[in-house]
């Protein structure tokens, strides 16, 4: 016979479902903060490792600038100014207007004429210079000063005296061309006047030691930079294999 259950037998506790939910927020991700000084330290480390390249490139650049200064021929520069003026033969309003228009129309032409054999050859003959007009043209420039009828002529030569003599001769030759060109214009003609005579220069125009040294320094630093970049790229490629 099956007996009645013993009341003394312990009854297991009922399982209760935990309905509570975990409301705690998930942990925030941890970000690694990069040290902003790291790139600078890398650059300084590369510079320390490559100091010999930098020094050698800078010294070579400075030496090249000095040698350039020593071996380039000396050049001296001077300037003279020629004023183009109208000459009115008949005092009349229409003649004055024509004179102003004539000057404005011709002054640019005369500035260009100053760099042609028509002006340079007579100037060379006048001072018996040992140079041809085709060679001299590279050392002569002429331009009109804005809003004026003044032509500024710049001349370079191997000595201060030659520079001043050539500038004087070119100005005189140009004035001859100006006055000859305007002679046929009636009742208005043109004349030229030297308003600033050339001075004998006492300083070199080129070569300039400081300028050449700075250029050599810049080139040396650029070469050093390129060599270092190439070495770093080559080193990174080797490590990546």
pTM of the model: 0.68
Judged by average pLDDT, the poorest of 29-38, 110-119, 157-166, 228-237 is 29-38
106-146 tens-digit pLDDT? 899 999 999 999 999 999 999 998 899 999 999 999 999 99
- Pick the range with the lowest mean pLDDT from 6-15, 35-44, 156-165, 193-202: 6-15
CATH number of 77-196: 3.30.70.1130
Residues 183-237 pLDDT 10s: 554 567 888 999 999 999 988 888 889 999 999 999 999 999 999 888 888 877 6
76-88, strands of its sheet edge to edge:
140-144, 150-157, 76-88, 188-196
* Burial track 10-49 (b if 16+ CB lie within 10 A, e otherwise): eeeeeeeeeeeeeeeeeeeeeeeeeeeeeeeeeeeeeeee
Closest listed residue to residue 144, CA positions, set 189, 200, 82: 82
Sequence length of the chain is 241
Strands (E), 163-226: 188-196
| Segments making up each domain of the chain, as ranges | 50-72+207-239, 77-196
> In terms of Cα–Cα distance, which of 52, 11, 61 is closest to 222?
61
């Amino acid at each position: 016979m099956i007996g009645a259950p013993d009341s003394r037998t312990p009854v297991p506790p009922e399982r209760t479902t935990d309905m509570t939910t975990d409301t705690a927020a998930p942990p925030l991700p941890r970000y690694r903060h990069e040290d902003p000084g790291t790139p600078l330290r890398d650059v300084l480390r590369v510079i320390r490792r490559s100091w010999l390249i930098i020094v050698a490139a800078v010294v070579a650049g400075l030496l090249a600038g000095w040698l350039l200064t020593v071996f380039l021929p000396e050049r001296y520069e001077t300037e003279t100014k020629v004023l183009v003026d109208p000459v009115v033969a008949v005092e009349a309003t229409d003649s004055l207007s024509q004179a102003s228009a004539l000057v404005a129309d011709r002054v640019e032409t005369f500035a260009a004429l100053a760099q042609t054999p028509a002006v340079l050859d007579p100037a060379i003959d006048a001072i018996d210079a040992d140079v041809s007009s085709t060679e001299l043209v590279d050392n002569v420039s002429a331009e009109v000063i804005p809003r004026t009828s003044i032509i500024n002529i710049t001349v370079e030569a191997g000595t201060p005296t030659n520079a001043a003599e050539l500038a004087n001769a070119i100005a005189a030759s140009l004035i001859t061309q100006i006055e000859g060109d305007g002679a046929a214009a009636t009742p208005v003609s043109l004349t030229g006047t030297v308003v600033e005579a050339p001075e004998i220069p006492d300083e070199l125009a080129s070569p300039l030691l400081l300028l050449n040294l700075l250029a050599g320094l810049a080139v040396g630093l650029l070469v050093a930079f390129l060599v270092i970049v190439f070495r770093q790229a080559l080193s990174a490629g080797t490590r990546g294999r």
